[in-house]
Every structure is written in structure tokens, then in C-alpha cells.
Structure 1
Amino acid sequence: MSRTWLALPLGSMVALMIIGSSGVAVALPTLSADLGLDVAATSWVLASFGLTLAVATAVFGRWADLVGLRRPLLVGVALVAAGSMTAATAGSFEVLIAGRLVQGAGGGAVPVVVTGLVTARFSGAERARMLGVIGVIVSIVSGSGPLIGGAIEHALSWRAVVGLPVLVLLLVLPVARLATTSGDDRGVGLDLPGALLTGTSVGSGMVLLQAVGGTLAPLAMGGVAVVAAVSTATLVVHVRRRPRGFLPRRLLGDVGLRRACLAGFATLTSWLAMLLAVPELLAGVQGWEPWRIGVAMVPGAAIGALASRAVSTRRRQRDRGRIAAGLLVIGAVGLAIGGAAGGEPAPLVLGLALVAACFGGAHVVLLDAVPDLVPEGLRGGAIGLFNLAMFTGGAVGAALAGGLAGMLGLRGALVALSVFPLVGAVAALGVTRGTPVEDVSR
């Protein structure tokens, strides 16, 4: 199969998962009005999907190491379908969030399968070009998500939009034929307790981030803080006792990989914050309908696609950190412009386009760099840890934007969140300087 024909189904699968955020974002004003939600509660429609997507990506990654790629792909797609149907037919906020959690959990298999297939079939410059082609497809399809979502919402309803990822069923057969059916156990196994502790720690932390806007009573906030503290402390102990588990201790000790993870975290933090804020501001200030919001957000698709394509042609290792850092600075400028826009369409669209360039380019550069930061036998785990950090960043970006909106307003929240890509830019500058540390798991 040629590179383009392989990239088409792989990129489309990833794009459909991202549409789970970008397409749904444009329908949030209608959804929140229908269910009577404020901005903080509405942000959980994006954050819940991102949270389980992040944790499930690492779980599916380790499972794929054990049994190959095909079985995780089939289970993941089944979960996406079940979650999509649940969310699309939800009669309450609670059922909607439950469906989105299942949807995100299934979606975690997609980046694992896509990255696994590319890594197995390509290396060096070919791998970079393949990731670039996939990045272009992802940027075009997912960047058009607001337009697709707006059109579907206008013609049908927001329910059809949240159910859109079910279309991944149409792509599962051609990809499953290419997926491997065997793995390499090496006596490590799945670390489900580690995954549960990680999800609990991150999820409770996200609730606390939202609480800055006063969305929780003091007693409830105290209870969540206890859960966050206990789960985090237990996770630290668990990592020490099981150094080759869900969060591999050896990889956590690699300085270059930590920098890449922090930079990846910042890229999706910025993107999800903008996806939450722009539709809410255009609907709230300008009174725009979802289809019009979708049209206004389309330029981000072109900018993101161009950024993905441009960076894929520059693979020299010493350049990758600087390219990612520059794109993250552009993302910070985009967030600041969006926050200062006052709800005016032109600067909001400009800010979104700059953040799209940051996301579209930086994640391709960083994902290409990650396998070269660690020894060959640890590359699968490194990619899984990077994806965990990046998708967690997306969930945190949506949750924190919703929480800060209660205190600063959405405009102020965007300006405050511009700090994240700046920190990520500093981290990205050191990505190629990291060297694998001694194996502490032995």
C-alpha cells in the first residue's frame, strides 16, 4: 500500500477522534442552552472526553505491546460506537458525560494503532514524511470539524454532532487488515492499578482546577482535594514499587522525554482552550449560530495543515526543538489575541488560526522526535507516555478554561492560559539535548 493510501484511513481515524472535540465545540452553545449548563459545566463535555482519551491511550499502548494492534483497535472502536450512541441519546448532563467518557476511552486505541503502524513500517525521513502526510489529513478534517459540526447541528441537532465519532466504524476493516496480531509480553503485563491511580489523580486535579471559579462548595472542594492528594501520593509509591508499570520509571527519569511531554501537554492545552472559548464568545457576544461559527473557524484547518506539511519537510534533529518552541510561542500569541479580542470575530479567528498552527505543527515535530530520545526497546512506551501527556493537556486546557471563566471571564482565561505554551516553548528547546538515563528498573 502506498504512503498516501495508508495515510488516508489512518489520518481519518485520528481526525474523527479530534472532531470529538473540534466538531462538538461549535455545538456547545446550543447544547448548554438545551441542558441548562453554565460555562464550567459545559467545559466537561470536552474535558471528560480528553481525560479518558489520555489514560486509555497509555493502556491501549501497553496492551498492544502484549497482543499486537488488531485487538486493541477492535475493542477501542466498539467503545467509541457505544459511547457515541449514549452521548447522542443522553437526556441529562450526567448521561452525556458518561457517554463522552466511554467515547474517549475507546478513542485511546486510535493514536496507538496509527503510531504503531507508522513506526513499524517506516523509519528516519520516511517516518517523518508519513507523519507529515497524516498531520495534513488530520488538520484538514479535524480543522473542518467546526464547519462539519455547525452544518450537522443546523440540519439536525447537537446530538448528531456528539455522535459523529461513530463513523470510525467505516474505517476499522481496512486498518484492521494491516494491524499486527501478536506482541511481546516480556513478563511485564498490564498495570491497571497504575492506570486507575493516574486517571483518579488527573481527574480530581481537573475538578480542583475548575473550582477556582467557585463551582464547588468548600466541603466538596476539600473532599476532592483529599482524593487528589491521596491518589497522587499512592501513585508515586506505586511507580517506585512497579517501575515498569503504567508510568515506567525509567522513562519518567529521561530528561529529554520529560521536556517533550511538557511541550506536548502545552500544545493541546492551548488548542482545547480555544475550541471551548471561541464558539462561546461568538455565540454570546455576536449571537452567531453554530453553522456561522463553523464557517469562521475553517481557516484554522488550512493553517494547521500548512504547518503540519511545512515541519514534516525539516527533520534535522537539531532543528526540531527550535521549530516546536517557535510554534508554541505563536500559540501563546494566538491565545493572547483571542483573549484581547473582546468577542470581535476577526481577532478571534486570527487567534484561533495561530493556535491551530501551533497544534498542527508542534505535535508532528515532537512526535517525530520522541522515538529518537530513547533506546529502541523503549520507543513504544515513550510514545505512549508522550500521548498521555499531550491528551491530558487537552483535558486540562478545557477544564481550566471553564474554571477560570467563572473568575476572569473567557477572555481573561485565554490570556492567563497563554503562559502554558510559553513554558512549553522553553521545554521544547531542550528536547534534543535529552539522553536516556540509566535503567533504574533493574
Structure 2
Amino acid sequence: MRKWWPLAAVCLGTFMFLLDTTVLSVALPGIGAELSAPLSSLQWVANVYTLVLAVLMLPMGSLTDRFGARTVYIAGLAVFGAASLGCGLAPNAGVLIAVRGVQGIGGAALAVTSFALLGAVYRGPDMGRAMGVFGAVTGLAAAAGPVLGGVLTQYLGWRAVFFVNLPLVVATIAVSFRIPAAERRPAPARVDLPGVVAFALCAASLTYALTLAGEDGRPSLPVIGLLVLAALALAAFARIELRASAPLLDVRLFSRASFSAVMMCVVASTAAFAALVYTSVWLQSGLGLGPVRAGLALLPLALASFATSLLSGRRLHGRSPRAVLGTGLLLSGIGCALQAGLDAGSSAGSIAAGLAVAGVGVGLMGPAMGAAVFAALPPERGGMAAGAMTTFRQLGQTLGVAVFGVLFQQGGTASGGLNRVLIAAAGIGLAGAALARVLVPRPVAGEATDAVRRDLTGSR
């Protein structure tokens, strides 16, 4: 039993971290009502968390190498718990957004160290069992999030969505101290701080510009200025990374068409989830559903994703990621398209079939994404490939929420706005599917497995 304590710690932390990305979707209307927050502020409540995750994924890996996975994991739990308390006590939207960003710092630590902890403790068949349980917990968090968020919001208020993290944090920290401490390794190169700052400035400026564009309804001078700032920051980031001795991200990798295509597919894979923010707004503001019923209405996507991940993991092992990823993106796009066409007579049942189809697509994409990324690079770049994948996934969701916010607010009614969002999400999914079928490479036998193994154990 003792050997499974590390798995229990990782699963508890991962469940909590992922729950906070999905549980909030049905709580946003309640937050807006109590704090008198406009839609743009609600976008930032969701966006700042994923934005901080995207910015800190790569540097958090360096901190893990320097201080050890267990230390960073426990520190991340402490930050996450303190920030959750702050979110629950927030007196206004501004404070909530700021503390939600701090919560993203803890979330980034949890996300990056989870795989490293499992890879450091388990080997052989035990690793297979651990990864199976870990995958099931990941799917369970996605499935439970909307319903749990609805129950907590409706019966205890939206603040309970954050307070529920506190006992989970205490329990997870207690279990985490049972994880064996890793052997000390030579300290790696310093964290590329200029690269972190440039990337953060680019991502934040772009997200803010898109959010502001949704408020103004047209291009304005501040929006144009922010877009220019984002472009300059991106150019600075590329220049810094080209000169850095230990870059966060080797930008030369993007000269490979296959790697660029896979990263675009990673971004496209987030479209269906980004659209859920506005589906929840439509369910509650447009249809007048309570948080619990809204959460239940979103359940087809989460359950289909969970079931598909469990059933397809072993059956599709070894299949070409080009085919699996392409099929997942195709189904995601089709599912979003099936939800569109809403009008004044539509009900929650109108989107159920589309949500389920999109959920099957999301479930297929999860396992195939890593194999596709590793197939696009030499085996020795596995660690950087994994870091790039997690970063682009979080950034894609952040930008997706911002872009879809512009479309939603220009739609007139809630149903008209959601139709625009769903059509755009469908187009992104279909475009990603075409890109996957043409440019995503097939892995050489054994290379993807070796790269994954090195990444799990923290080797470079």
C-alpha cells in the first residue's frame, strides 16, 4: 500500500487543479451577478488562470529541475490553497482576478511536477497502472467539474467553488510528504527570466487586446496599441531565445513544418472547451437555468470525453497519431457545428448530441497529442516538446475564450452570440483536422515511448 501514496498525492492534486478549470464555467454568471461584473471581467476570471499557466509552464520545469519535484509540488499546493482562500473572500472582481492569477502560479507547479513525480517513483508494470489511474482521474475531474460547480453555486454560493479546495489542499500536502525525496542533481542553468517576461508580455497584451475589442465592438486605438505591443514582445522573445544558452523554447523548432503544424493542432484542440464558457452563459442567462441544471446540461461532453479516454487508451496504442489526432479534431469540429443553429425556441437538449460528439473528439485527442508532438522532434528534445505542448494548450484556451468573447458580444442575443462562437469553434476544429492529416508526422517505432519516458523521469 505504501508504494501507492505518491500516486494518491499526484491524483489528489491533479483532480483539484483540473477541477478548477472546469468547475468555474457554471459559476461565472453567479459571480457576475454578486460582484456586478461585466462579461469582460468574467472573461478575465477564466482567462487569467490559464494565461498564468501558459506563461509559467516552461520556467516551472526549470525550477523543478533545480529544487526537486516534491518540493515544487508541495510549494505549489500551498500557493494554490492560499490563493483559493483569497478567491473565496474576494470583495470585488478586480481582487478576484488578481488572486485567480496567483492561483495559476500554484496550478502551473502542480501541472508540471505531476508527471515528474510519477516517473521518479514507478517503473515497468507499476508505471502502466499509475498512468491508467492518473488518466482516469483526469477524465473524472473534467466530468465532475460542471455538476459540482453547479451544486456548490446553487446551494452554497459561488465562493464555495474556491473554499472546497482548502480541505483538499491540506489532505494532499499531508500525503505528499510520504513521497520519497529525489536524489540531488547538479543545479541546471538559471531560469531564462528575460524570456519569461517577454512571453508573458506578448500573451497578456494579445489577450487584453482581444478582450477589449469585445467591449468596444470595433478596432480602437488601445486595441491596436496592444496588438503592436504583443507583436514587439513576440519579436523580442524570439530574439532572446535565439541567443539564450538555455532557452525556455528553442524557436528554431518552428522551422520544422511538422512541429509548427502539431502546435497549431494543440491550439485547435482547445476550441471546444473554450466555447463552454459561453455555452454556460447562454444556459443560465439565455434559458434561465439554475447552476445545477446548467452543469448537467454540459455533462454529455465531459462524460463522452471520459469514456472515450478510458476505452481508447489501450485500443489505439501504437496507432498513427496523424489519424487519431485528425479524427479527434474532426469530431470536435462536427460536434460544435451540431450545436449551432440555436434560436428562441432552443432548449438545453438542443446541444446535447453536439456536446457528446465533441466529447468523443476531445477524448481521442488527449492520448494522441503527446505522441504527435514527440513524433515531430528528435527523441532528445522530448522534454522541450512536452513543455511546448502544455504551454500552447493553455495559451490556446486563453486566446480562445478572448476571441470567442468578441464573437459572443457581437451576436446581439445570447443564442445569436453562441451560434457565432460555435461556428468559429467548428471551423477551428475542422481546419486542425485537415492540418493533422497533411502535416502531422508518423512516429518512428519506439521513439515516442523513449521520449515520454525521458520526460517523465526529468531527464534531458
Same fold flag (TM > 0.5) = yes
How many angstroms does 1:262 deviate by?
2.3
Gaps of 5+ in 2: 412-416, 448-460
Change (3 A) 1:83 1:388: same
Q: Which residue of 2 aligns with 1:52?
A: 52
In the aligned structure 1, how far is the partner of 2:133 from the partner of 2:319?
Answer: 22
Does the alignment pair 1:432 with 2:441?
A: yes
In the aligned structure 2, how far is the partner of 1:182 from the partner of 1:371?
Answer: 27
Q: Which residue of 2 aligns with 1:228?
A: 230
Q: Secondary structure of the residue that 1:181 maps to in structure 2?
A: coil
Identity %: 26
For 1:217-256, list aligned pairs within 5 A: 218-242=220-244, 244-249=246-251, 251-256=253-258
Q: Which residue of 2 aligns with 1:439?
A: none
Q: Which residue of 2 aligns with 1:295?
A: 296
The more displaced of 55-64 and 120-129 is: 120-129
How many angstroms does 1:128 deviate by?
6.8
Q: Which residue of 2 aligns with 1:346?
A: 349
1:39-71 CA distance string (max 9 Å, x none): 333222111111001222222112212332012
- Is residue 87–residue 100 contact of structure 1 (8 Å, CA) maintained in 2? yes
For 1:156-171, list aligned pairs within 5 A: 156-166=156-166, 167-171=168-172
Q: Which residue of 2 aligns with 1:416?
A: 424
Q: Which residue of 2 aligns with 1:440?
A: none
Does the alignment pair 1:388 with 2:395?
A: no
Structure 2 residue identity aligned to 1:46: A
In the aligned structure 1, how far is the partner of 2:90 from the partner of 2:333?
Answer: 36
In the aligned structure 1, how far is the partner of 2:147 from the partner of 2:443?
Answer: 40
Change (3 A) 1:10 1:428: farther
The more displaced of 352-361 and 40-49 is: 352-361
In the aligned structure 2, how far is the partner of 1:431 from the partner of 1:145?
Answer: 32
Gaps of 5+ in 1: 437-442
In the aligned structure 1, how far is the partner of 2:58 from the partner of 2:17?
Answer: 16
Q: Secondary structure of the residue that 1:432 maps to in structure 2?
A: coil
Does the alignment pair 1:402 with 2:405?
A: yes
Q: Secondary structure of the residue that 1:244 maps to in structure 2?
A: coil
- Is residue 332–residue 421 contact of structure 1 (8 Å, CA) maintained in 2? yes
Q: Which residue of 1 aligns with 2:455?
A: none
1:200-241 CA distance string (max 9 Å, x none): 111111122234424388232233223212211211211111
Q: Which residue of 2 aligns with 1:192?
A: 193
Q: Secondary structure of the residue that 1:337 maps to in structure 2?
A: helix
How many angstroms does 1:3 deviate by?
9.5
In the aligned structure 2, how far is the partner of 1:22 from the partner of 1:338?
Answer: 19
How many angstroms does 1:87 deviate by?
1.3
CA RMSD of aligned residues (A): 2.8
How many angstroms does 1:299 deviate by?
3.1
Structure having greater relative contact order (Cα 8 Å, sep ≥ 6): 1
Larger Cα-atom Rg: 2
Q: Which residue of 1 aligns with 2:454?
A: none
In the aligned structure 2, how far is the partner of 1:119 from the partner of 1:373?
Answer: 22
Structure 2 residue identity aligned to 1:140: L
- Is residue 278–residue 408 contact of structure 2 (8 Å, CA) maintained in 1? no
TM-score, with structure 2 as normaliser: 0.85
Q: Of 355, 358, 373, which aligns to 1:355?
A: 358
- Is residue 26–residue 294 contact of structure 2 (8 Å, CA) maintained in 1? yes
Structure 1 residue identity aligned to 2:28: L
Change (3 A) 1:70 1:307: same
- Is residue 58–residue 246 contact of structure 1 (8 Å, CA) maintained in 2? yes
Q: Which residue of 1 aligns with 2:21?
A: 21
In the aligned structure 2, how far is the partner of 1:360 from the partner of 1:180?
Answer: 34
Q: Secondary structure of the residue that 1:144 maps to in structure 2?
A: helix
The more displaced of 72-81 and 368-377 is: 368-377
Q: Which residue of 2 aligns with 1:74?
A: 74
Structure 2 residue identity aligned to 1:79: V
For 1:91-102, list aligned pairs within 5 A: 91-102=91-102
In the aligned structure 2, how far is the partner of 1:332 from the partner of 1:179?
Answer: 44
Structure 1 residue identity aligned to 2:431: V
Structure 1 residue identity aligned to 2:264: L
Change (3 A) 1:261 1:115: farther
Change (3 A) 1:305 1:416: same
TM-score, with structure 1 as normaliser: 0.88
- Is residue 61–residue 381 contact of structure 1 (8 Å, CA) maintained in 2? no
How many angstroms does 1:126 deviate by?
7.7
- Is residue 5–residue 178 contact of structure 2 (8 Å, CA) maintained in 1? no
Structure 1 residue identity aligned to 2:332: G
How many angstroms does 1:191 deviate by?
0.9
Q: Which residue of 2 aligns with 1:32?
A: 32
How many angstroms does 1:146 deviate by?
1.1
How many angstroms does 1:356 deviate by?
2.8
Change (3 A) 1:145 1:101: same
- Is residue 213–residue 220 contact of structure 2 (8 Å, CA) maintained in 1? no
For 1:137-176, list aligned pairs within 5 A: 137-166=137-166, 167-176=168-177
